[in-house]
Amino acid sequence: MSISPLQKVRYEYAPKLPGMLRNGIADICVKEGAETQSVADQEKIKALFPNTYGKKEITFQKGANTSETKKQVVGVILSGGQAPGGHNVICGLYDALKATNKDNVLYGFKGGPSGLIEDDYLIFDDEYINQYRNTGGFDIIGSGRTKLETKEQFAIVAEVCKKHGITAIVIIGGDDSNTNAAVLAEYFAANNTGVQVIGCPKTIDGDLKNEDIECSFGFDTATKTYSEIIGNIERDSNSAKKYWHFVKVMGRSASHVALECALQTQPNVCLISEEVAEKKMSLAQITNYIADSVAARAAKGMNFGVAIIPEGVVEFIPEFSVLIHEINELLAGSKADAFNALATWAEKYAFIENGLTKESMAVFALLPEAIQQQLFLERDPHGNVQVSLIESEKLFSALVKENLAARKAAGTYNGKFSPLHHFLGYEGRCAFPSNFDADYCYSLGYNAFMLIQYGYNGYLSKVSNLSKPANEWVAGGMPITKMMNMERRHGEDKPVIKKALVELDGAPFKYFEERRAEWAENTCFVIPGAIQYFGPTEVCDTTTMTLALEQAK
C-alpha cells in the first residue's frame, strides 16, 4: 500500500498519556476502590460469574510498582466492526509490554476471535508495528465477528494459550465482544488456566458507555468524519438552494451518532430513535414533523434543507416494529420458501396481504413499493428482517413528498421539494483517528498492559475524565460484570453488557431539544470542516460535544 504525506507525518505523532502513566512503569501503583455489582439481575449474574463477580474497581496512581515481575506473553484480537484508533490500542499495549521487559511478547491473532481458535497469528516487532501507528482501520491483524461463547471454543483457546505460553488475552471490541471476554475470563478462572482476559471498549455507535466508560473509542473520529460530510452537504444545500438532503447515519440500536452530528452541524431536522419510542410516534407523525419544517422553510422562500435519520429508527416506531415482527412470523420456516417461489411482486403482495393483520397491512400499504420489497430481502442468520438494509432516508422523503402533495392540494403549501439521499456508514469506520482517539486508544492499550501486569482478570481497560486535557485523564480498570444484565436472546436468558441509549433527560439531548425548533425553520448550519491534526489545542484535541455536555460542570 502506498503511503501518503499525511500518513508519514502521523507515524511520528506521539500520543499523549494520562499523567500517572507518564511516570514510567516502575512508578505506577494501584489504588483499590469499592467492590462492584452488576447494573441489574445481581443474583443471576453472580451465579454465572462466581470467580470474577464483585471485584473491586481500581485506578492507577504514582507510587512504587508492586506487581509481580515475570515474562508476559500476551495475545490480542480485534473483534467486530472497525473503529478508528484500534491500531493505537495495539501500539499502546505493545509499547507498555516492551517498556516493562524487552523479552515480553505480543501475539496478534488474525481475523478476530476465529484467529484465536484456529491458532492463526503473527508476532509483533518494532518494524511491523511502526507501520500502523496513528492510522485508521483494523488491517494490522484484521477483525471478525465469530463469537467466543461455547465451552468447546474456550477449551480450544486455552490449549492455544498453553501452546504459546500466553499469560493474557486482550479483546478489543464492542458490547458483545466484551461480554464474550467476561465469559472467557470466568472460564479461565474456573479452570485455573492462569490466563487473564482484559477488554477494551470499542464502537463508533457510542452505545458502550456508562458511569465508568465515558466514551467508546472511534466515536469521536467517526462522528467528526460524518459531521464534515454533513457540513459540506449543508453548504451545498445553502448554495444551490433547491434540494432537501436526507442523510442516514450509523446507529442501529442507539442514536448517539445522529445526535452528535446534529450538535456539530445544526441541521433542520434530526430524528432521535429513543424519542420516537418514548413518544410512541407513528409514521404519519414523523412524516408530518419533517414536512412541517419543509413547509415552514418554503414559506420563507427556502426550498432546501438537511435531515439526519438514524439507521435503526424504523425499529423504534411501534407500528413498524409490530409490522416487522409479523413479517418475521409470516416467513418463518418453510413459509419463506413458498413466498420466494412466487414469480411476481403482485403474487407476493397477495401472499403478504393474506398473512398480515389488518393494522399491519395498513402500515405496509403506506410504504413506497421499493421499501415494501426491502422488507423481504435476504434475512439475517436468525430469519429476521435486516433492518439496516431498509433505506429509511428514502422512506421518509417519499412519505414527506406525499404529505406535501396533500398540503398543496389543500392550498396550505406552495413550495418545491426535491429530495436527495445519502448513507454515511463505512466512510467513518476506518478514518485517520483524531488526536483524541489516537491518544485515548493508545492510553487504553497501555493501561490494558498495566492491568495484566497487576494480575487482573475479567476487567475492562478504563480511562476517564476524558473531557479534560490528556494529562488529567485517569487510568484504571473495572470488572466487566459491573456492566452486565440479563436479556432475552433467541429464546434464552443471556448475560450481556447493557447498551447505553440516548438519555432524553441528559444534557446532550436537552441542548438539542432547546434549539431544534429554531434550526427547523431557519438556516443555522454549522460547517465543522475536516478533522485537524496540527494546530491549536482547542481545534485539534477537543472531544465530542456529547462528552463535553455530559461532563460540563
- Concatenated DSSP letters for 478-504? EEGGGGEEEEEETTEEEEEEPPPPPPT
> What's the first-to-final CA gap in the chain, in angstroms?
46
**Do 182 and 458 form a contact (C-beta atoms < 8 A)?**
yes
Question: What nine digits make up the cell of 1?
Answer: 500500500
Tell me, rounded to whole angstroms, the distance of Cα 498 from its chain centroid: 13
Q: Of 458, 529, 493, which is closest to residue 179 (Cα–Cα)?
A: 458
**Do 305 and 294 form a contact (C-beta atoms < 8 A)?**
yes
Active site residue: 95, 175, 176, 205, which one? 205
Instruction: Give the C-alpha separation, 26 to 429, whole Å.
Output: 36
Angle, CA of 391, 397 and 399, to the nearest 5°: 100
Q: Of 189, 227, 177, 50, which is closest to residue 460 (Cα–Cα)?
A: 177
Q: Of 515, 537, 533, which is closest to residue 524 (Cα–Cα)?
A: 515
Across the beta sheet with 244-249, the strand order is: 269-270, 305-310, 244-249, 419-424
Instruction: Give the C-alpha separation, 489 to 396, whole Å.
Output: 30
120 is catalytic: no
Instruction: Give the C-alpha separation, 533 to 436, whole Å.
Output: 10
Question: What nine digits make up the cell of 138?
Answer: 483494523
How far is the CA of 109 from the CAs of 4, 19, 75, 197, 202, in angstroms? 27, 31, 7, 14, 18
Handedness of CA 245, 249, 254, 260 (dihedral sign): negative
Question: What nine digits make up the cell of 547?
Answer: 462528552
**Do 121 and 89 form a contact (C-beta atoms < 8 A)?**
no
Tell me, rounded to whole angstroms, the distance of Cα 399 from its chain centroid: 29
Coil, helix or strand for 521? helix
Enzyme catalytic residues: 205
